[in-house]
Amino acid sequence: MANETAYWGETLKSGSGMIAAADLRAAQFHAVVIDSNGEIALAGAGATGVKTLNNKPDIGENCHLTDIGETKAVAGGPILKGAKVEVGTGGKFITKGTGAAVGEARIAAVADNDVITIFLIPT
């Protein structure tokens, strides 16, 4: 255990070499996934294994991603501070309903398209 690195509470970013499968210039801070071609695509409602997109890549451009930890995120509606979140339509984060929890809101969202901070967890 002496050589293990704890990622809980830290932010792990990746994306070197991962390219956008589509035009994601309007999807900064949305949930994304790795598609069947190994490229980054906008996450659908209820998706798991999500990352957040930190830049605005066009198709074929490199993506800057957050895999785990605190990150900015686009809300799909009101979210209370401390609430578990899941992925809603359009890759936006919403208050957890029946889907898998992918994070926890660090600050509240008042309306659709608010940019908040969440703690993204691996799923």
Write out the chain's pLDDT in tens, 123 residues. 343 333 344 455 665 568 999 999 999 999 999 999 999 999 999 999 999 999 999 999 999 999 999 999 999 999 999 999 999 999 999 999 999 999 999 999 999 999 999 999 988
pLDDT for residue 2 = 41
pLDDT for residue 21 = 96
pLDDT for residue 69 = 92
pLDDT for residue 82 = 97
Separation in Å, CA 57 to CA 36, 38, 49, 77, 95:
19, 16, 20, 25, 27
Amino acid at 89: T
pLDDT for residue 123 = 84
pLDDT for residue 17 = 67
Separation in Å, CA 16 to CA 45, 56, 64:
26, 14, 7
Domain spans of the chain, in order of start? 71-120
* Cβ contact 8:62 at 8 Å: no
pTM confidence score: 0.88
DSSP secondary structure of 28-85: TTSEEEE-TTS-EEEPPTT--S-EEE-S-PPTTSB--EEEEEEEEEEBSS-B-TT-EE
